[in-house]
Amino acid sequence: MAAMSITTEFLRRPLMTGAVAASSRRLAYAMTEGIGLEEARLVVELGPGTGVFTDAILARLATAARLVAIELNPVLAARLSATRRDPRLTVIRGSAAELAATVGEPADAVVSGLPWTVMPREQRGHILDAVAEALTPGGRFTTFAYLHAAWTPPARHFTAELTHRFSELERSTVVWPNLPPAFVHRATRKP
């Protein structure tokens, strides 16, 4: 999808789309690095948008692994389905909050491009509970945050929510070539 299309979707549905520009390949690399995708049997992606993270996930997945991408925005879900022809990928138009019911089995990793800091706190908590519940023991969750917003109350609350739900939480170095610059949260499910 061209950059103009993600911008158009942001303008049409800012709370659903959450980004003005597509994430960079460098951020996609950071999002998929060190979370065990090469050994995973099932990976779930929340909010795949234009598919930048989707492509990075597929590049690391084994031939027999599966990727389930859950996208709320109907335009982005349809485009992702139409443009990615990989038998390991299933695109589902739906809500991240219904993750367990949608996927039906534990995931080894969940990769998220969701706009956490623009969500109401209750919704964010409900989705994070769904993520923690959907992961296998020791499963990994990865998401990103924009550097310029890291000090805001929603971003600080989000980090606290991750710390509460996961046994380990680490933060990557800043990915400066992304627009805007971002960093990655990597969390491990409590056993």
Give me the tens of pLDDT residue by residue for the chain, a chain 191 residues long.
344 354 454 445 555 445 557 899 999 999 999 999 999 999 999 999 999 999 999 999 999 999 999 999 999 999 999 999 999 999 999 999 999 899 999 999 999 999 999 999 999 999 999 999 999 999 999 999 999 999 999 999 999 999 999 999 999 999 999 999 999 999 999 88
Using CA atoms, how far residue 10 sits from 47, 49, 115, 124, in Å, is 13, 11, 11, 19
Other CB atoms within 10 A of residue 93 CB: 16
Q: What is the pLDDT of residue 179?
A: 92
Asked if residue 14 belongs to a domain, the reply is no
Asked if residue 6 belongs to a domain, the reply is no
Give the CATH number of the domain where residue 31 resides.
3.40.50.150
Asked if residue 124 belongs to a domain, the reply is yes
Asked if residue 102 belongs to a domain, the reply is yes
Q: What is the rounded distance in angstroms from the CA atom of residue 17 to the CA atom of residue 1? A: 14
Asked if residue 123 belongs to a domain, the reply is yes
Taking alpha carbons only, the member of 146, 142, 145, 184 closest to residue 166 is: 142
Asked if residue 16 belongs to a domain, the reply is no
Q: What is the pLDDT of residue 5?
A: 53
CA 145 vs. chain centroid, Å, equals 11
Q: What is the pLDDT of residue 131?
A: 97
Asked if residue 13 belongs to a domain, the reply is no
Count structural domains, the chain.
1
Asked if residue 4 belongs to a domain, the reply is no
Domain with 108 in it: 23-189
Q: What is the pLDDT of residue 20?
A: 52
